[in-house]
Amino acid sequence: MNPFWSAFVIFISVAMMIGCLWLLFANARGKPGESTGHVWDDTLREYNNPLPRWWLNLFVLTVLFGAGYLLLYPGLGNFGGWLGWSSHQQMQRHLEQLTRQSHLAYAALAGKDIPALARDPSALSLGRAVFLNNCAGCHGADARGAIGFPNLTDGDWLYGGTPDKLVETITRGRHGVMPSFKVVLKPEQLQALVDFVPYWSDPELPVLRRAAGVKQFTVTCAPCHGADGKGNPLIGAPNLTDDIWLFGGGRERVRETILGGRQSTMPAWDGTLSRDEIRVVAAYVYSLSHQQDAAP
Ligand code: HEC
Ligand code: HEC
């Protein structure tokens, strides 16, 4: 606030307080039983009785309290108050306290590996907070994912679920690319794949259909998904034989995937999250698919 407006605010505030007191005493001078001379409906008279003492005192006390407050705390223009308190300072102190607490919490976890952190309730609660703040938007608050966003609780991994792989995925991010086969495949080749891939794990799939599918798959798809269809964690090619689908199973979704291709990006968190935060969130994710040996 520039000095003029500061002075203006101080002047108005002080004038208001003095005005209040003046108004009070100017109107407190009546004598008991003194009439103002106003009469309504023949008998209804208005008196000028003084205000009760206790009420008057309460009012004066309120004004004094206000004056005291404005002397101690900020409120009068640029005047900061004798106590020197400010909301900014208070927040700063609070923040420092929280930072100190979080340093202490992380220091207690230093030197533990991911599986040990995954059994440590305090590491898990830190990891869960990091997850809810940064990851839940894509993977869901329960980490069960959605179409195109992998489920992190099912023990089925595109890139591998070991502690090292999890830390690597989170730190560096991932980019999965399945090319489009629209111009490569003839209609009958596409049909052979669409009739086979979604039903890979179905034991009742007719033998001839399976044979035709496998034949085409070996030529076009095996380089990435493996001859056995179990995927390749180095490039994030999913296992197609386990009936767990990132983009949905069934003929139509698989046809869509083959014709249009798919691209997914898991952002890199290096720089956004500290190393400690990446370790605890990795431990949290690890714990989700290792419930039996995780902390209760
Ligand atoms: C913008 C959306 C988005 C956010 C935010 C996000 N992820 Fe992901 N994540 C993805 C996608 C998409 C994939 C799959 C990438 C692929 O298919 O190549 C993925 C993959 C993963 C994988 C590998 C899964 C596997 O099967 O190998 C892990 C682990 C993971 N995310 C953990 C996290 C964690 C922990 C966070 C928070 C720090 C996070 N993600 C935040 C979108 C996101
Ligand atoms: C260049 C390597 C590559 C080739 C070749 C390839 N894929 Fe893929 N495929 C991927 C990757 C990587 C993904 C995961 C994409 C993502 O995460 O966005 C994928 C995803 C898929 C999915 C989705 C799986 C799910 O869980 O929803 C299907 C189905 C699929 N591929 C089938 C095929 C078929 C059929 C062929 C042969 C015509 C083929 N792929 C060839 C790399 C490949």
Ligand with the closest atom to the CA of 114: 1
Q: Which tokens in the block code for residue 241?
A: 């034989």
Q: What span, in angstroms and rounded, lies between the C-alpha atoms of 238 and 183?
A: 23
Q: How far is CA 100 from the centre of its chain?
A: 22
pLDDT of residue 296: 45
| pLDDT given at position 292 | 60
185 CA: nearest ligand 2 atom = 38
Question: Measured between alpha carbons, how far apart are the two ends of the chain, in Å?
Answer: 55
Q: Residue 88, Cβ neighbours under 10 Å: how many?
A: 8
Q: Is 197 in the pocket of ligand 2 (CB under 6 A)?
A: yes
The pLDDT of residue 286? 97
Question: Considering only CA atoms, which of 264, 250, 242 is closest in space to residue 150?
Answer: 264
How close is the Cα of 138 to the center of ligand 2, in Å?
21
Ligand 1 contact, 137 CB (< 6 A): yes
What is the structure's pLDDT at 293?
53
Positions of the chain with pLDDT lower than 50, given as ranges: 294-296
Ligand 2 neighbourhood includes 236 CB (under 6 angstroms): yes
Centre of ligand 1 to C-alpha 157, Å, is 11
> pLDDT digits over 221-272, tens only?
999 999 999 999 999 999 999 999 999 889 999 999 999 999 999 999 999 9
Angle at 284 between CA 278 and CA 290, to 5 degrees: 135
CB of residue 246 inside a 6 A radius of ligand 2: yes
Separation CA 45–CA 211 (nearest Å): 110
> What is d(CA 125, CA 136) in angstroms, rounded to the nearest whole number?
15
Residue nearest to atom 39 of ligand 1 (CA): 135
213 Cα–ligand 2 center, Å: 15
Q: Which tokens hold the place of 51?
A: 């205000």
Write out the two tokens for 234: 């180095």
The pLDDT value recorded for residue 52 is 84
261 and 178 Cβ atoms separated by less than 8 Å: yes
Dihedral over Cα of 196, 200, 202, 207: its sign: positive
Q: What angle do CA 40, 44, 46 make, to 5 degrees?
A: 90
Gap between the Cα atoms of 173 and 126, Å rounded: 21
Mean pLDDT for all residues in the chain: 93
- Residue 236 CB–ligand 1 contact under 6 Å: yes
